[in-house]
A and B are shown apart, each in its own frame.
Chain A
Amino acid sequence: KQEVTQIPAALSVPEGENLVLNCSFTDSAIYNLQWFRQDPGKGLTSLLLIQSSQREQTSGRLNASLDKSSGRSTLYIAASQPGDSATYLCAVKSNQAGTALIFGKGTTLSVSS
């Protein structure tokens, strides 16, 4: 059974810091991995989608990497801003789970000014 773990559960940093969020999954047979952002009480905003054949994807200050063989992905946020404060969720679409996305519990990020 595919399981997704995100570490740390919460993170507080001062504005301007570069930071890394971690995601691990137990079954390496995945189709893709997605990173989402969720503001309190709101829906999910897709940040980056990495296909299983890719190693990384970049969008602005965000960079996500994928190491399928070790079952790990990282989300790198450069020059963090208070507006980056949110919960970041990692989800995998795996062969085992079919079309369902399997989510971690998320990392709650707080960036102080």
Chain B
Amino acid sequence: DAGVTQSPTHLIKTRGQQVTLRCSPKSGHDTVSWYQQALGQGPQFIFQYYEEEERQRGNFPDRFSGHQFPNYSSELNVNALLLGDSALYLCASSLGGGQFFGPGTRLTVL
């Protein structure tokens, strides 16, 4: 079992650009959540996808959007990047129980 995988590992962008991050859930898991973790902070919930629909959203602007595919994999898109978007982006998958996290994507905005 490969667990939760994320790509890319690292990414450098400039302000105003757009970025897409990808996540493949643990085998058998149908729910994917995305979190943003700034340096020295705990992860903050962005949104969760289930059955290809956004089920719940945290306190993040509309610049953050997502998608879930029929195979349960998911994408996180961020438009009009700001310096403050620099963070570790974590994907978590679940099947009704505890959440399992991937290794994260480190996004740096210059």
Q: Pick the residue among A34, A97, A99, A106 that contacts B42 (CB under 8 A).
A: A106
Check: A46 CB closer than 8 A to any chain B CB. yes
Check: A79 CB closer than 8 A to any chain B CB. no
Chain B residues lying within 8 Å of A43, measured Cβ to Cβ, are 4, 6, 90, 101-104
Chain B residues lying within 8 Å of A102, measured Cβ to Cβ, are 45
Min distance, Cβ A2 to any Cβ of chain B, angstroms: 11
Contact B98 A34 (CB under 8 A): yes
Contact A105 B40 (CB under 8 A): yes
Contact B88 A46 (CB under 8 A): no
Check: B97 CB closer than 8 A to any chain A CB. yes
Name the residue on B nearest A49 (C-beta). B98
Digitize B23-37: 1 where CB-to-A-CB distance is under 8 Å, 0 elsewhere: 000000001010100
Chain A's interface: helix, strand, loop or mixed, by majority?
strand
Q: What number of B residues sit within 8 Å (CB to CB) of A?
A: 27
Q: What number of A residues sit within 8 Å (CB to CB) of B?
A: 23
Contact A100 B90 (CB under 8 A): no
CA distance A3 to B90 in the complex (A): 20
Min distance, Cβ A66 to any Cβ of chain B, angstroms: 14
Contact B103 A42 (CB under 8 A): yes
Q: Pick the residue among B31, B42, B100 that contacts A46 (CB under 8 A).
A: B100
Contact B43 A101 (CB under 8 A): yes
The chain B residues found within 8 Å of chain A, CB to CB, are 4, 6, 31, 33, 35, 40-45, 48, 55-56, 58, 88, 90, 92, 97-104, 106
Please list 21 pairs of residues, one from A and one from B, whose beta carbons are closer than 8 Å in the complex, sorted by A's number.
A32-B98, A34-B99, A42-B104, A43-B103, A46-B98, A49-B97, A49-B98, A97-B45, A99-B33, A99-B55, A99-B56, A100-B33, A100-B45, A100-B58, A101-B45, A101-B92, A104-B42, A105-B40, A105-B41, A105-B42, A106-B42
